[in-house]
Amino acid sequence: MHQFDNFPPVPLTLEGAALLHQMLKIKWPQWRALPHARRQEVIAEAGQALASMEGQGSAMFSLLGHKGDLMLIHFRKDFEALGLAERSLPKLALWDYLESTTSYVSVVELGLYESTLKMYSALAESNVPAHSPEWEKTIEETLGRQREAMRPRLFPEIPPAKFVCFYPMDKRRGEKKNWYQLSIEERQRQMAEHGEIGRRYAGTVRQIISGSIGFDDWEWGVDLFAEDPIVFKRLIYEMRFDEASAVYGLFGAFYIGQRQKIDELGTLLDL
């Protein structure tokens, strides 16, 4: 019998900030129909509100392509705070001239494959039954230490980089190729290989992975931040060749945006 056969195949994870991505289109005909003075009032109100939200963990991006004109990204301490942020936006007059094209809900996630394997190995050697009180206590103590050590990564600020690339993704669950039927050791090996590529881009790309299983239609969301958008293409293309992506990766729509200062809202909406 394999030493991990009596243990759950699920790797431990740490969860942090709650995330909401909002993709929006401007209703240009209705916006153009407004008198100039009224447009300025609407922009001023929205600018003040968005500036306050920016201080709480929000950012505005102008989108490239047909999928939207604006993307708002919100990082908050929990889902309650995220809900407050979302509900505050429709109260703005500007919201009457925006149309939601899609959105994405997730939570910052750090996977602990390596730590999970080490802990399971130690528990197996000690003959500790899975899900026993001793097992649960060991798990929670380990997660607690990891949570404090990784707090800056769990509750990050939105990087100030000029460009963002956001996309959702899944792991394949087909009849012939199913990520979730691989052993935990094999998944750890593939993810370690996958991570090595990302680390080579550490100086040019900031990556934030968020989990969305149970929250949205895909399993993870990926945010990449960089000064040069070409690096997104290079990084993602290189990753396509590693086994975790080439065999098991499935990807949703990609959104590319340029960071906009809140005081540039008037320029974006200028006619």
CB contact at 8 A, 72 and 58 = yes
Nearest alpha-carbon partner for 106 in 232, 226, 13, 15: 15
CA angle (138 as vertex; 135, 143 as ends), nearest 5: 125
Of the listed 113, 167, 201, 255, which one is catalytic? 167
Question: pLDDT 10s digit of each residue in the chain, 271 long?
Answer: 445 556 678 889 999 999 999 999 999 999 999 999 999 999 999 999 999 999 999 999 999 999 999 999 999 999 999 999 999 999 999 999 999 999 999 999 999 988 888 888 888 888 888 888 998 898 899 899 999 999 999 999 999 999 999 999 999 998 789 999 999 889 999 999 999 998 999 989 999 999 999 999 999 999 999 999 999 999 999 999 999 999 999 999 999 999 999 999 999 998 7
Helix (H, G, I), strand (E, B) or coil at 2: coil
Helix (H, G, I), strand (E, B) or coil at 234: helix
Query: What pTM value is reported for the model?
Result: 0.93
- Is 237 catalytic? The answer is no
For β-strands 249-251 and 206-211, DSSP reports them as unpaired
The CATH number for 95's domain is 3.30.70.1030
Rounded distance, CA 79 to CA 102, Å? 18
**Domain span at 41:** 1-271
Domain count, the chain: 1
| Bridge partners (DSSP) listed for residue 181 | none
Tokens 């394949």 correspond to: 172
Rounded distance, CA 189 to CA 193, Å? 6
